[in-house]
Amino acid sequence: MPAAEIYSALSNLSNLERVRDLIPQDKVQELEIAPDYVRMKVDGLGQKFCIRIVDKIENDTIKFGVDNLPLEANFWIQLKQTAPDETKIRLTLKADIPFMFKMMLDKKIQKGLDDAADMLTQFPYRQWQ
């Protein structure tokens, strides 16, 4: 899939409406979706937080920030087109996690990123155009 098609779909968070029914309602409540942010309450956090797009480089990178969490975090989706119909997706997370929690969370965070990357490879991007 060309990077432009993936970028077009992922850079507009309103496209998440198309997969809303796949989001587990027992884990995510009060979901609010807009073109440049998603607000939600996640089971276990107890408070509503926001993921918002803070920067974009067309067909290349989408940078997200997170608001209303007890730690600072941001993450990127990077696209690298390797052939006319093939694009690699890379997820990068930067989070200011206190050392004593880092050891407990490292594996869970890595699993979450791996699961997110797998999910991103399965979206029907062409249908979202």
What pLDDT does 4 receive? 94
**Neighbouring residues of 93: CB distance < 8 A, sequence distance ≥ 6:** 73, 74, 75, 109, 113
- Residues counted in the chain: 129
Question: Which amino acid appears at position 114 of this protein?
Answer: D
What pLDDT does 115 receive? 83
What pLDDT does 62 receive? 97
Measure the CA–CA gap between 63 and 47, rounded to whole angstroms. 23
Domains identified in the chain and CATH numbers: 3-128 (3.30.530.20)
How do the pLDDT tens digits run along the chain, 129 residues long? 899 999 999 999 998 888 888 777 888 888 999 999 999 988 777 788 899 999 999 999 999 999 887 778 899 999 999 999 999 999 998 988 878 777 877 787 788 888 888 888 877 787 776
